[in-house]
Amino acid sequence: MKISGNTILVTGATSGIGRALAEALHGKGNKVIIAGRRQALLDEVTGRNPGMTGIAVDLSDTAAIAKFAESVKAQFPQLNVLINNAGIAGHEDYTADAVDLERAYSTIQTNITGVVQLSAALLPVLRAQPHSTLMVTTSGLAFVPYPPGPVYSATKAFMHNWLDALRVQLQKTSVEVLELAPPYVQTELGGPQQASDPRAMPLEAYTSEVMQILEQNTLEKGEILVERVKPLRTAEKDGKYQEFLDMFAAMHV
């Protein structure tokens, strides 16, 4: 992925990793469009970043995604980078008599169905560009799950597998397929306490390392992996899968 001169759409960009990446890429001379559910937050981010465009969309709503994709294609026919970052996380307790399946369904809709639908809708635009990128934010939990959040972990494992297959399908096109797999980062994805959890990687440090990887083009087979997440990526190969699984089982976010 070239680091400047792009037209980039970033979903889930009003906070956390999405916002940090959108602002970092905006600062590199790209035209950045951000998407999120709340217009007030979009306005706050674009107000701090002149030239950035914000569009409200609920990525849990298939009809809204279709309408949003048509609007993006009409307004930004030069779009050449799609960063699917929007996602939600939550816990489910399968030892309970009544499991909160609404949370599970919502997580699957946003983290899987919404990503697949938006990517499918915008891939024709990406393929029409000489050089383009489709990126999806997954997680280190794609490689070792977090037992209190089984559906969230599974959605990220799904995305990892989907991206591997998509990379093969698109290898003869202009579209580069990238997976951004963060470790545990100081954002509010898992709740307000995560943003200040000392066990998590500071967001600024994470963003800086990701940008360095992109600028220096030191990706690993289409995967953007900061040093802190690499032990999870290789946990099974290194014989440390159970060790990490046990650690995550004892962890509460």
pTM above 0.85, yes or no: yes
Q: How much is the average pLDDT of 148-152? A: 96
Is 152 assigned a catalytic role? yes
> Residues 155, 158, 163, 166: what is their CA dihedral angle, to the nearest 10 degrees?
-130
Q: What is the pLDDT of residue 188?
A: 87
Residues 6+ apart with CB under 8 A from 138: 156, 159, 160, 163, 179, 180, 181
Q: How confident is the model at residue 55 (pLDDT cuts 50, 70, 90)?
A: very high
Look up residue 235 and give its amino acid: A
pLDDT at 32 exceeding the cut of 70: yes
Give dist(CA 53, CA 112) in Å, integer.
25
* Largest separation between any pair of C-alpha atoms in the chain: 54
Domains of the chain: 7-249 (3.40.50.720)
CB 80 within 8 A of CB 6: yes
pLDDT band at 191 (very low <50, low <70, confident <90, very high): confident
User: What is the model's pLDDT at position 253?
Assistant: 63
Q: Could you tell me the pLDDT band of residue 88, with boundaries at 50, 70 and 90? A: very high
Which among 94, 105, 146, 152 is annotated as catalytic?
A: 152
Q: What is the mean pLDDT of residues 114-142?
A: 98
